[in-house]
Amino acid sequence: GAGVSQSPSNKVTEKGKDVELRCDPISGHTALYWYRQSLGQGLEFLIYFQGNSAPDKSGLPSDRFSAERTGGSVSTLTIQRTQQEDSAVYLCASSLPVPGKPYEQYFGPGTRLTVT
């Protein structure tokens, strides 16, 4: 079936504007993750969803960042009042947890965000 998809693939925005990034996980995958890949910080975890709830938001860098997931499927990451340091590639991953087993996270192609 289809893999994880993300949109847009590229986004250029002016400092201070809000942006929304979208992730469509693999069908049936209950777990969804957002990560950020930047030159200075490498790959960082942002937030984890199980179903529609987010038991781990520990990686969100500030209260300008928020995310939601609806219907146990699509997720949106919103960045308000963007700053230049928000420029990065935002990656989404999904997986199907099996109790007691480590499970693979499948990554989307990412959204490259550039804040000017």
Partner 1 sequence: GDSVTQMEGPVTLSEEAFLTINCTYTATGYPSLFWYVQYPGEGLQLLLKATKADDKGSNKGFEATYRKETTSFHLEKGSVQVSDSAVYFCALISYTGGTSYGKLTFGQGTILTVHP
Residues making contact with partner 1 (CB under 8 A): 31, 33, 35, 42-45, 48, 50, 56, 59, 91, 93, 97-110
Residues β-bridged to residue 45: 35
Cα separation, 78 vs 69, in Å, equals 11
Cα separation, 72 vs 37, in Å, equals 25
For partner 1, the closer of residues 10 and 83 by Cβ is 10
For partner 1, the closer of residues 42 and 71 by Cβ is 42
For partner 1, the closer of residues 33 and 65 by Cβ is 33
